[in-house]
């Protein structure tokens, strides 16, 4: 008699499947594809104006960084050295991503993800799972179940975004042309896991002869009203202070965009740097979503409060090291001081505003910022070869630059929440 829990419930127990070398070769390709996807999605967070797509990219670049990390760890258990695991596999897959990152607009970017890269990746994972022996290769099987679930969800979300954005004959034609071109490059590489036949047909590059440089331009759709900056309000003006906190959280989108510059334009760092930056980036975008969700919840309209623009005018002008020292040391480390700092913001929401949703958000915002300070300390120590005093001076320079840019234009008052509060707090 057999039971469903024989073999600990594993299926695929008596087919030989792949050997260690074949598994490692495929995982090496897949980890590389995930890494390049992280860069592709992060690089376009700035250039994509559509708010909901911008935010989705921030989540997906983080998840793909995690996938890369999991697959790389697994590789090191398959007789592959750490150094080799972190290197690019022997494939022309690089060319596909070199070209894809030059997407000229949201249509091309989404077309590459939805119609070429992500479906190929998902199919390769399914293929791997269908073939490998579950008993022999269980650590990979378990990883892939998680990765497949996330990739399938990602593809559904991206497909919905694609359907919204690619909404005219002209855009459909542009998407088709870009897809045809990238598909040829994918075929020439023998597929995303390198297991297919490599076509000998030479594919001419259209754009990758030049490296992609992220445009230093603020792109926003009309999801939120925009102001240069807003006045600071004292805690005693409770509803105004709460409104300001919502707008400040919302405006962290620009910090996420600044971190995309650091992630994508700091080459040759150890892999751990990119994992940390991808996480930090997604956290700042989540903080922006805290503002969006609070506005929608409290005011019945996600666009009730404005987002401020001035941050882009200094962040986009800085080198990655200056930018990261400013965010990690100049701003975030300073937020650890109490009072005021992150703890005071949390206590304000709990004790003065009595607004449970924002209390939860600020509680986690505080925890995230503690993590970011630790990440920044760790990464800046490795990255910057000077001493701590030099880093502090660099951060101070950034703060001075921030202050001078901020004063270029007047601050605006925020909308008076007064009777717009549709939900009773407390």
Q: At what angle do helices 51-75 and 138-165 cross, to 10 degrees?
A: 160
Q: How far is the CB of 67 from Fe ion (least distance, A)?
A: 23
- Cβ 158 to Fe ion shortest distance, Å: 25
Compute the least distance from the CB of residue 319 to Fe ion, in Å. 19
CB nearer to Fe ion: give 34 or 369.
369
Q: Answer whether 120's CB lies under 8 Å from 93's CB.
A: no
CB of 357 to Fe ion, least distance (A): 17
Chain position carrying tokens 């309000």: 233
Identity of the residue, 311 or 332, whose beta carbon is nearer to Fe ion in the bound complex: 332
Show the tokens assigned to 320.
């990655």
Give 51 or 287: the residue with its C-beta nearer to Fe ion.
Answer: 287
Q: What are the tokens at 318?
A: 């800085």
Q: What distances in angstroms separate CA 126 from CA 119, 141, 156, 200, one per listed residue?
A: 11, 10, 16, 27
To Fe ion, the closest distance from the beta carbon of 233 in angstroms equals 19
Buried b (16+ CB within 10 A) or exposed e, 340-379: eebbbbbbbbbeebebeebbebbbebbebbeebbebbeeb
Nearer to Fe ion, 28 or 372 (CB): 372
Give the residue with the Cβ less far from Fe ion, 177 or 367: 367
Tell me the C-alpha distance between 351 and 224, whole Å.
29
Nearer Cβ to Fe ion, position 113 or 245?
A: 245
Shortest distance, CB of residue 330 to Fe ion, whole angstroms? 12
Residues near Fe ion (CB under 5 A) are 252, 284, 287, 332, 369, 372
**CA–CA separation, 387 and 393 (whole Å):** 10
Give the DSSP H/E element, type plus range, for residue 41.
Answer: helix 20-43
d(CA 133, CA 136): 5
Whole-number CA gyration radius for the chain: 24
Q: Pick the closer one to Fe ion by CB: 10 or 334.
A: 334
Look at phi and psi of residue 305 and say left if phi exceeds 0, alpha if psi is from -120 to 50, else beta: beta
Minimum distance, C-beta of residue 56 to Fe ion, in the bound complex (Å): 19
Please state, in angstroms and rounded to a whole number, the distance separating the CA atoms of residues 94 and 188. 11
**Cβ distance to Fe ion smaller for residue 28 or 287:** 287
C-beta of 52: minimal distance to Fe ion in Å? 20
The CB density around residue 148, as the number of other CB atoms within 10 Å, is: 16
Least separation in angstroms between CB 288 and Fe ion: 8
* DSSP reduced 3-state for 208: coil
Considering the complex, state which of residue 25 and residue 256 has its C-beta at the smaller distance from Fe ion: 256
- How many of the other CB atoms lie within 10 Å of CB of 150? 15
What sign has the CA pseudo-torsion 26, 28, 31, 35?
A: negative
The distance of closest approach from Cβ of residue 290 to Fe ion in the complex, given in angstroms and rounded to an integer, is 9
Instruction: Please identify, using beta-carbon distances, which residue of 208 and 399 lies nearer to Fe ion.
Output: 399
Nearer to Fe ion, 72 or 287 (CB): 287
- Dihedral of the alpha carbons of 328, 292, 261, 323, in degrees to the nearest 10: -30
Residue 215 CA to residue 224 CA, distance in Å, equals 22
* In the complex, least distance from residue 335 CB atom to Fe ion, rounded to whole angstroms: 8
| Tokens linked to 392 | 């502090």
Q: Find, among 343, 396, 397, the residue nearest to 369 by Cα.
A: 343
């Amino acid at each position: 008699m057999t039971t469903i829990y024989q073999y600990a419930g594993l299926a695929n127990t008596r087919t030989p499947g792949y050997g260690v070398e074949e598994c490692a070769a495929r995982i090496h390709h897949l980890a590389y594809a995930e890494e390049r996807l992280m860069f592709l999605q992060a690089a376009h967070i700035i250039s994509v104006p559509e708010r909901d797509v911008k935010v989705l990219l921030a989540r997906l670049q983080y998840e793909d960084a995690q996938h890369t990390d999991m697959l790389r760890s697994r590789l090191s258990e398959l007789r592959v050295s750490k150094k080799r695991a972190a290197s690019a596999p022997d494939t022309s897959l690089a060319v596909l991503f070199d070209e894809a990152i030059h997407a000229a607009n949201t249509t091309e970017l989404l077309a590459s993800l939805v119609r070429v890269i992500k479906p190929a990746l998902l199919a390769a994972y399914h293929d791997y799972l269908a073939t490998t022996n579950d008993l022999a290769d269980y650590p990979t099987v378990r990883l892939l179940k998680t990765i497949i679930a996330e990739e399938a969800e990602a593809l559904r979300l991206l497909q919905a975004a694609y359907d919204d954005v690619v909404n005219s004959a002209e855009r459909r034609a542009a998407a088709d042309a870009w897809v045809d071109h990238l598909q040829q490059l994918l075929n020439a590489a023998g597929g995303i896991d390198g297991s297919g036949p490599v076509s000998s047909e030479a594919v001419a590059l259209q754009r990758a002869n030049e490296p992609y440089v992220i445009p230093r331009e603020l792109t926003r759709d009309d999801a939120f009203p925009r102001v240069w900056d807003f006045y600071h309000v004292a805690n005693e003006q409770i509803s105004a202070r709460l409104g300001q906190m919502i707008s400040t959280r919302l405006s962290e989108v620009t910090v996420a965009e600044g971190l995309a510059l650091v992630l994508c334009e700091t080459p040759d760092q150890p892999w751990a740097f990119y994992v940390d930056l991808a996480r930090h980036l997604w956290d700042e975008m989540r903080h922006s979503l805290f503002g969006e969700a609070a506005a929608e919840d409290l005011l019945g309209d996600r666009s009730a409060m404005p987002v401020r623009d001035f941050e882009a005018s200094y962040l986009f002008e800085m080198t990655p090291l200056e930018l990261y020292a400013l965010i990690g040391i100049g701003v975030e480390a300073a937020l650890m001081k109490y009072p005021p700092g992150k703890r005071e913001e949390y206590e304000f929401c709990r004790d003065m505003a009595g607004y449970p949703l924002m209390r939860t958000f600020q509680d986690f915002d505080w925890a995230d910022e503690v993590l970011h300070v630790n990440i920044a300390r760790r990464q800046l120590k490795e990255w910057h070869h000077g001493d701590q005093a030099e880093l502090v001076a660099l951060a101070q320079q950034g703060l001075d630059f921030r202050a001078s840019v901020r004063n270029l234009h007047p601050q605006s008052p925020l909308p008076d929440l007064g009777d717009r509060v549709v939900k009773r707090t407390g």
